Amino acid sequence: MQAVQFMTSRKVMPTQLDQFCLPLSAICRSMADWKDFSAIAGTAVAVVTAGVALWKTFTEIRKNREQREAELRLKRTEFTLAQHRRLFDDPVLSKVLRLIDGDSSALADPSMWDPKRKYLTFIEELCLLIKAGYIKKNVALYLFGYYAEAAFGGKNFRTGMAWEARYWGLFFGFAEEAREFLRQAADGKPINFEEMGI
């Protein structure tokens, strides 16, 4: 019985036959060691691959977000310019604009009352677009503020209109903001187009 205990308690050292070597090298390990090494190497490769995939995913997400933001800025700019063109391309609005500059006495003529209302409505629509976030306020003040302020201050423009804030409150607010915007520009404060989103 002692002989059996002696045999089982003795550690068996691997022999040269139990070793597997890398070709053209003296690195030899047991099959269990190579198995552990391959598992570690496989895990390391998987971690590196996952890291690269994660980095690429975040890079693509950022790139797509930047592209969407650029497209949104372009669409917003196109929309704003379309509104500006509408002001000049519409024959009724264009006629009002030509007369606003010097507060022409033709603005007091009853035939101009509806065209003036159309202009006031245009500016109020613009204010609603600003409030909805489709047009930036500073851009609108830059593009449309001069004419709004001229109309607001024009005695002939007011003729025939129910010139009260309860009817034209959005227009009044925009014209007052335009007056302040134009005053700052006249005082020599440079217009910061980056702040305006241009």
Return the higher-pLDDT residue of 47 and 4.
Answer: 47
Q: What dihedral angle (degrees, nearest 10) is formed by the CA atoms of 168, 172, 194, 187?
A: 160
Q: Global pTM?
A: 0.67
Q: What dihedral angle (degrees, nearest 10) is formed by the CA atoms of 82, 85, 136, 67?
A: 40
Tokens representing residue 125 in the block = 């629509």
- The angle at the Cα of 84, spanning 70 to 176, to the nearest 5 degrees, equals 105
Alpha-helix residue ranges (DSSP H) falling in 90-164:
91-100, 113-131, 137-153, 155-158
Tokens representing residue 24 in the block = 């053209």
Could you read off the pLDDT of 121-142 as tens digits, one per residue?
999 999 999 999 889 898 999 9
Bridge pairing between strands 28-30 and 19-21: antiparallel
The residue count for the chain: 198
pLDDT at 32 over 90: no
**What are the residue ranges spanned by the domains of the chain?**
29-74, 90-186
* Residue 29: DSSP 8-state: E
Mean pLDDT over 159-165 rounds to: 91
pLDDT in the model for residue 16: 57
Q: Do residues 31 and 40 lie in contact, with contact meaning Cβ atoms separated by under 8 Å?
A: no
**Percentage of the residues of the chain whose pLDDT score is greater than 70:** 86
The C-alpha atoms of residue 10 and residue 173 are separated, in whole angstroms, by 98
Tokens representing residue 82 in the block = 């379309």
The C-alpha atoms of residue 131 and residue 124 are separated, in whole angstroms, by 11
